[in-house]
Amino acid sequence: MAAGDRTVLQFNSPSSASLSAKVHPLVIFNICDCYVRRPDQAERVIGTLLGSVLPDGTVDIRNSYAVPHTESAEQVALDIEYHHNMLVSHQKVNPKEVIVGWYSTGLGVTGGSALIHDFYSREVSNPIHLTVDTGFRNGEGTVKAFVSVNLALGDRQLAAQFQEIPLDLCMVEAERVGFDILKKTAVDKFPNDLEGMEVTMGRLLALIDDVYKYVDDVVEGRVPADNNIGRFIAETVASLPKLSPPAFDKLMNDSLQDQLLLLYLSSIARTQLGLAEKLNTAAQIL
Picking from 19, 20, 26, the residue whose alpha carbon sits closest to that of residue 172 is: 26
Please compute the mean of the pLDDT values over residues 87-116 and round it to a whole number. 85
pLDDT value of position 183: 65
Provide mean pLDDT across the span 253-270: 86
Percent of the chain predicted with pLDDT > 90: 8
Looking at the predicted structure, is the pLDDT value of residue 104 above 60? yes
Task: Please compute Rg for the chain using Cα positions.
Answer: 25
Per-residue confidence (pLDDT) for residue 48, from 0 to 100: 92
105 in Cβ contact with 31 (< 8 Å): yes
**pLDDT at res. 4:** 47
Q: Which pLDDT does position 71 carry in this prediction?
A: 77
Q: How confident is the model at residue 9 (pLDDT cuts 50, 70, 90)?
A: very low
| Weakest mean pLDDT among 25-29, 65-69, 132-136, 219-223 | 132-136
Place 76 in a pLDDT band, splitting at 50, 70 and 90: confident
Residue-wise pLDDT for 79-93, tens only, equals 889 999 999 998 888
Output the average pLDDT for the chain: 80
User: What would the pLDDT profile of 161-205 be if each residue is shown by its tens digit?
Assistant: 788 888 888 777 667 767 776 666 555 566 666 777 787 788 888
Structure confidence at residue 10 (pLDDT): 47
Among 50-54, 174-178, 185-189, 258-262, top mean pLDDT goes to 50-54
Instruction: Report the pLDDT averaged over residues 45-63.
Output: 90
pTM: 0.59
**pLDDT given at position 259:** 82
Residue 210, exposed/middle/buried by CB under 10 A (0-12, 13-18, 19+)? Answer: exposed
Mean pLDDT for the stretch of residues 24-51: 86
Better-scored residue on pLDDT, 210 or 182: 210
The residues, any chain, with a CB within 8 Å of residue 76's CB and separated by 6 or more, are 1, 3, 69, 70, 112, 115, 116
Q: 254 or 141: which carries more pLDDT confidence?
A: 254
Cα–Cα distances in angstroms (integers) from residue 63 to residues 24, 115, 163, 200, in the given order? 8, 23, 23, 26
Q: Where are the alpha helices (DSSP H) in the chain?
A: 25-36, 80-93, 111-123, 173-183, 193-220, 227-239, 245-285
Give me the mean pLDDT over the 218-238 stretch.
87
